[in-house]
Structure 1
Amino acid sequence: MAPASTSVAAAVASAHATFLASNQKSAQLHKDAAQHMPGGNTRTVLYAEPFPLAIESGEGNKLTSVDGRTYTDFLGEFSAGLFGHSHPRIAEAVQTALASGWNYGGESVCEKKLAAKVTERFADGGVDLIRFTNSGTEANTFAIGAALEFTGRKKIVIFSSGYHGGTFVFPMDLCRWTHNGRVGEAPCRNMNLPHEFVAAPYNNLADTAAIIDALPKDSLAAILIEPVQGSGGCRPASPEFLRYLRDTCDKLGAMLIMDEVMSSRLGLAGALAAVPGETLKADLMTFGKWIGGGMTFGAFGGRKDVMSLFDPALGSARRLMHPGTYNNNVFTMNAGLAALKIFNAEAVTKLNARGDRMKQGITKALFDTGLYSKEHEQYLTDVLEVDSLSEETKLYTGKDSAPVALPRVFISSRGSMLNLRFTGSDAGYWHNVYYHFMLEKGIYLASRGYTPLNLVITDDDVDMFVAAVKEFLEQYKTDLAA
């Protein structure tokens, strides 16, 4: 990150001093862990300056740190913790698995039942057949592999700020570097798998069309997209953009892969939810997190003719291999069956409504503090739509075609997925100040501001969160408005 401006640097220093004074045990554990893990950490996304909290226990929607402080959990394990930390029906499902033994080395009844339930729920999205994995990363790995094999092509269009697992990370700077022919030194290190990725601007139909049209004939194997970007800040793709991608894949004979690892929590499927009244089917769809009840889980599924490549009854010259010791582990299979019953259509609707309540409260606070102006009002639908028009267009073309400038802070959301976001050169520092401010208020969230709601969160919790955001905005509105 660029050096912080004077005002935010002072805010960061103050926040870190307060955090250290209140979390001495977490600080010491982090220091000790650095002797055994690089940076004392084994999951990058959980690190936050100056050090992460060490969690001792969780119950319901509460987390307790080793320092004895209790927080209301608004992170929900980035969607995997949709059911809270101790849902009795999930606990019962896992106990059932424990009572029947595990590590079978064979097929189980529960995996066959779960496959039937998942395909039934997502059939309208294009899921005829399903295969289970251990993570969303694995699910996207196999979906991409299936698309390459089925089409006999190599190029895969991905989008700026996309995240599809630890080996498919596409920050905007990396996409710009790729798009510009890798001019100069790479802006960030990554361990992305060496596929022929083609970077395009998310939600920018005109520039994406130009990039795809410039590809060699019959080279495009797949387009991989999150209908609502999770790591990218809860940005929904527009219906027009998704329709264009579907039509383009049909025209070119390519596969449309919908990464629904997070966005499937929004309804039948995030892609369908993004295009009200339409049936927009994917060729392949990937899942994870909540469908396994919070256990280790991922899945990929889709068209019968594509997924049939994984039929183990086919001869070795015709089939695709999909091994994985824990693909069908009994803990996840049992927990998944309980999860799909708990998170039914009624629960989805209620949770999305609670997300809308939170968004409306934060939006009002942004107007009340003067950080939103009248010129922003017409763009406040599902997300502040100038986000895509401004940042992405400028990223690829150097031109700013946005009708209104992005505010320094804004709320981006779809249903129960929400993210307070900051812009400008100090954005990373403001995210850190906001994160620590909310921790001091007893609220646990992602350090990047991501707050996917879980089923244990109440309206009172939401109102408490909104009040804390408003207090933060009031305290820093002068600096944020500058």
Structure 2
Amino acid sequence: MSANTAVAEAVAAAHATFEGHNPESRRLHTEAGAHMPGGNTRTVLYAEPYPVAIQSGNNNTLTSVDGRSYVDFLGEFSAGLFGHSHPRIAQAVQTALTSGWNYGGESVVEKQLAARFISRFSAGGIDLVRFTNSGTEANTFAIGAALAYTGRKKILIFSSGYHGGTFVFPMDLCRWMYSGSKGDPPCRVMNLPHEFVAAPYNNLAETKAIIDSLPADSLAAILIEPIQGSGGCRPAAPGFLRYLRETANKLGALLIIDEVMTSRLGPSGALAAISASEGGEPIKADLMSFGKWIGGGMTFGAFGGRRDVMALFDPALGAAKRLMHPGTYNNNVFTMNAGLAALDIYNAEAVEALNSRGNKLKEGITKVLSAAGIYPADQMKYLSDVIEVDSFKGETKLYTGPDSAPMALPLVFLSSRGSMLNLRFSGPDAGHWHNIYYHFMLEKGIYMASRGYTPLNLVIEDKDVDMFIAAVESFLETYKMELSS
């Protein structure tokens, strides 16, 4: 039996079990197809053969319409950092409900949240901030500010980057862009029509060559996530971030750091944490984007940065000079109240505790991967930092420590930083393996992203982490023969 046949049979068996256990989810999904294309209004939530329909959430548990319960290891892709119906956030929203919520005017709470926000994230380079409704909006306006400030058009982005629904850059698309955009693109995205320039993530040599090939004074901005969320929890090498900072300085471009997901990884965000761990001159952004957890799970986004850049949004400048930034719900009182509570709850102590729990999960998964013989222990060092270096000219390579030699991507491996983790698969059957793993974990009572993304939330307990590690160990044992081949 070929490996491909074995994988196909494993997928079929996983789907048959899922369908047997989730008939009501199937019925609702089928009926929803009459009102939404594919029965879906959010692409990332779809998983073959159909998604679980959630009935309710409480604390760290989700319950489906089929009466099945799951420990929530997805946390709404990190927006649900506080679990379900956290009492302090619920009280904050209740306060908004009893005070009216459509003011059509400025409120006290938005000014309080802005002050708290600057105090929290100024270490990353934030002097002034403006609120939005989503991370996508935050990146839209950050890019717009960079174009207006520099008077240039080109924006450097990176392979597997995701900056919102209109800024999606899978590797195949980036390689197509790099090749000169000949023929039809390999995937269909609805990116805004900016002059994007693709570069390989973490690859200093190839990125430098791409930047050096650009016309003089054409690069407006460099946009990067310090840890790629949608791209698989892939950390940027500190040296790569420092190179981008120095390059932006040299060329007069703006460095935009997307912390929509990663701001949870340090008391002042991931960039500040990386900077502090490396020592030396702090790496600061010119502009930063935020979202997800800061609004307490409500609709939220924010962008901010250097005072001289953000000053362009001052409405007192008048129509000829200011940048317009409208938005009915930019300062909605639900999010502003919830955000104040969120920043109180997720303080520096809570950040450290959650990252420690993430490291415990990382340690456990690393142990069972090594014990399963998926890859040799001397290649994937215990609790090592996995750094992937993409290439447009060759294969993506993986490094497991500062002095390690590059290795090919294992068939299954872990990418993580703090409380953000992703068990990942590579090779031609990677998509099938992600689906098999997803369904296996559902059967173990674990809910996560179909791509394997598992950002921890504050109500996950040590016993839940132990359960997750045991489930991964069982998965590896069940499919050891197929994965080893």
TM norm. shorter chain > 0.5: yes
The equivalent position to 2:324 in structure 1, one of 315, 321, 324, is 321
* Residue 341 (str. 1) matches residue 341 (str. 2): no
Query: Map of 1:53-132 to 2, 5 A cutoff?
Result: 53-132=52-131
CA 1:191–1:247: 2 relative to 1, 3 Å = same
Q: 1:382 corresponds to which residue?
A: 385
Counterpart residue identity of residue 227, structure 1: P
What is the CA-CA distance between 1:377 and the residue it aligns to? Answer: 2.8
State the alpha-carbon separation in 2 of the partners of residues 133 and 365 from structure 1: 42
Task: Please tell me whether the aligned partners of residues 74 and 448 of structure 2 are also in contact (alpha carbons under 8 angstroms).
Answer: yes
Query: After superposition, what is the alpha-carbon deviation per residue over 1:250-303, rounded to whole angstroms, capped at 9, x for unaligned?
Result: 000000000000000000111122231352110000000100000000000000
What is the CA-CA distance between 1:380 and the residue it aligns to? Answer: 5.5
State the alpha-carbon separation in 2 of the partners of residues 96 and 243 from structure 1: 44
Corresponding residue SS for 2:423: strand
Task: Please tell me whether the aligned partners of residues 236 and 274 of structure 1 are also in contact (alpha carbons under 8 angstroms).
Answer: no
Counterpart residue identity of residue 312, structure 1: P
Task: Please tell me whether the aligned partners of residues 375 and 404 of structure 1 are also in contact (alpha carbons under 8 angstroms).
Answer: no
Q: 1:411 corresponds to which residue?
A: 414
What is the CA-CA distance between 1:374 and the residue it aligns to? Answer: 3.4
Query: Map of 1:196-235 to 2, 5 A cutoff?
Result: 196-235=195-234
State the alpha-carbon separation in 2 of the partners of residues 379 and 347 from structure 1: 25
* RMSD across aligned positions (CA): 1.3
Q: 2:237 corresponds to which residue?
A: 238
What 5-or-longer segments of structure 2 have no aligned partner? 399-405
Instruction: Provide the aligned length of Structure 1 versus Structure 2.
Output: 473
Q: 1:273 corresponds to which residue?
A: 273
What is the CA-CA distance between 1:405 and the residue it aligns to? Answer: 1.9
What is the CA-CA distance between 1:149 and the residue it aligns to? Answer: 0.2
Task: Please tell me whether the aligned partners of residues 4 and 426 of structure 1 are also in contact (alpha carbons under 8 angstroms).
Answer: no
Counterpart residue identity of residue 326, structure 1: Y
* Residue 398 (str. 1) matches residue 394 (str. 2): yes
State the alpha-carbon separation in 1 of the partners of residues 66 and 377 from structure 2: 44
State the alpha-carbon separation in 2 of the partners of residues 404 and 369 from structure 1: 19
State the alpha-carbon separation in 1 of the partners of residues 237 and 395 from structure 2: 21
What 5-or-longer segments of structure 1 have no aligned partner? none
What is the CA-CA distance between 1:135 and the residue it aligns to? Answer: 0.2
State the alpha-carbon separation in 1 of the partners of residues 3 and 62 from structure 2: 31
State the alpha-carbon separation in 1 of the partners of residues 44 and 396 from structure 2: 31
Q: 1:141 corresponds to which residue?
A: 140
What is the CA-CA distance between 1:375 and the residue it aligns to? Answer: 4.2
Q: TM-score, normalised by structure 2?
A: 0.96
Q: 1:154 corresponds to which residue?
A: 153
Task: Please tell me whether the aligned partners of residues 367 and 373 of structure 1 are also in contact (alpha carbons under 8 angstroms).
Answer: yes
What is the CA-CA distance between 1:404 and the residue it aligns to? Answer: 1.8
What is the CA-CA distance between 1:76 and the residue it aligns to? Answer: 0.1
Q: 1:178 corresponds to which residue?
A: 177
CA 1:343–1:180: 2 relative to 1, 3 Å = same
Task: Please tell me whether the aligned partners of residues 227 and 237 of structure 1 are also in contact (alpha carbons under 8 angstroms).
Answer: yes
What is the CA-CA distance between 1:183 and the residue it aligns to? Answer: 2.4
Query: Map of 1:41-56 to 2, 5 A cutoff?
Result: 41-56=40-55
Corresponding residue SS for 1:372: coil
Corresponding residue SS for 2:479: helix
State the alpha-carbon separation in 1 of the partners of residues 61 and 269 from structure 2: 28
CA 1:75–1:401: 2 relative to 1, 3 Å = closer
Q: TM-score, normalised by structure 1?
A: 0.97
Q: 1:364 corresponds to which residue?
A: 367
Identity of aligned residues (%): 73
Task: Please tell me whether the aligned partners of residues 226 and 236 of structure 2 are also in contact (alpha carbons under 8 angstroms).
Answer: yes
Query: After superposition, what is the alpha-carbon deviation per residue over 1:325-372, rounded to whole angstroms, capped at 9, x for unaligned?
Result: 000000000000000000000000000000000000000000000012
Task: Please tell me whether the aligned partners of residues 366 and 382 of structure 2 are also in contact (alpha carbons under 8 angstroms).
Answer: no
